[in-house]
Amino acid sequence: MTLPIYELKISDNLTDDAEVSYVALVDAPAIKKDFLMFRDEFIEPSKGEHQDEFLQRCIKYVIDEGKESEQAVAICNALWSEHFAANKISFDYDDTLSTSRGKDLAKKLMAEGNTIYIISARSELTGMIQTATELGIPESRVYATGSNKAKVEKIKELGIDKHYDNNPDVIKELGNIGAKFKVAEKFAIVSEDEHIISGALMLADELIYRNNEKFGEHYVKFSAETIKQIAIKFAKKKYQNHVNLMHDSNQKVEGVTMFESFIVDKKRGIQPMAEFKDVADGSWFGSFYVENPEVWAAIKSGEYKGFSVEGMFDYEQPISAEQNALKTIEKLLN
């Protein structure tokens, strides 16, 4: 079954509710892009690195981050063991194993001798079987459970040692089994001294999986033109200080201000940030100055990893896969 694709729209009318009204700092961005957290990359064992070399490098780093020596030794030994242990490991599908980084991670884990499963909240196996075949995962280890609750139950039933997922609720339910999947590094700490963070707010034509009562399983996307309208309306209504945490209206924060905003347009010489060189024209980027010390500490600790816009949008009738392919070809030719 091919899922429908709905394009989300807004109007230019400033009194219309269809708009982006807030930017949230979140732990799992829907646009599949995480922050650039260099610390996480630093303490991953490198290819060909011996255990003693890794432990020496890791322990020094963790101590420099403020941990006691005994804590640092325990943390680094656990990281080494976790990295090379052969276990039963499962992946969610949408925005996880469906991504190129997810596939690369699965291949790496399989090469280390781990047994890989695909366990999704999707109601049908369509699409997942193709990916499983591509990766060499038997169909018997692919599950479409129909809901996140059933997915968590299946993970526990199968005795999975680690499950990668981009859904924070699933991770919370799984406890130590859950591993938050980070697709790519999204939001960079540009300057620690100046408290500046930068990254992608919206990616043009990026498909985002959704599942709700009204539309069922489907994808949504924003065109370059709609993103431009959103950015203009956001600025006109002076929403630069509208920031909350995890899309929680009760967690609006002071001291986080958007001071820079641009839309990628390569014909005009407006390039994306270096870490996002492959994004489509029309993608929206922003930089925020963070004065709030509590929010800054949470960003540095990795609690918040990216931006996620929120607002009201109009659903446009879905286009077929063929129409979507033709639109993509048309854009490439132009």
Q: How many domains does the chain have?
A: 3
User: Residue 47's pLDDT band (boundaries 50, 70, 90)?
Assistant: low
Q: Are residues 320 and 195 in the same domain?
A: yes
For residue 315, report the phi and psi dihedrals to the nearest 5 degrees.
Answer: -85, 130
- Max avg pLDDT among 110-119, 156-165, 203-212: 156-165
Cα torsion 15, 16, 20, 22 to 10°: value is 50
Higher pLDDT, 70 or 83: 70
User: Residue 119's pLDDT band (boundaries 50, 70, 90)?
Assistant: very high
Instruction: Reply yes or no on whether the pLDDT at 127 is more than 90.
Output: no
> How much is the pLDDT for 40?
36
Q: Are residues 80 and 131 in the same domain?
A: no
Q: Are residues 62 and 91 in the same domain?
A: no
Across 308-324, average pLDDT: 73
Complete DSSP assignment for 126-148: TTHHHHHHHHT--GGGEEE-SSH
Across 89-97, average pLDDT: 93
Q: Are residues 150 and 193 in the same domain?
A: no
Domain membership of residue 95 as a residue range:
85-182
Cα–Cα distance list, 289 to 9, 163, 189, 297 (Å): 29, 35, 10, 13
CATH, residue 101: 3.40.50.1000
Q: Looking at 154, 182, 210, which one is the last position of a domain?
A: 182
- The answer to whether 231 and 200 have CB atoms below 8 angstroms apart is no
User: Residue 85's pLDDT band (boundaries 50, 70, 90)?
Assistant: low
pTM for this predicted structure: 0.53
Sign of CA dihedral 246, 248, 249, 252: negative
Q: What is the DSSP letter of 46?
A: P
Question: H/E element holding 71?
Answer: helix 69-84
- The answer to whether 7 and 26 have CB atoms below 8 angstroms apart is no
Q: Are residues 144 and 61 in the same domain?
A: no
Q: Are residues 191 and 268 in the same domain?
A: yes
- Output the average pLDDT for the chain: 82
pLDDT tens-digit series, residues 173-185: 999 899 877 655 4
Q: Looking at 182, 207, 233, which one is the last position of a domain?
A: 182
Q: Are residues 287 and 322 in the same domain?
A: yes
Q: Are residues 256 and 295 in the same domain?
A: yes
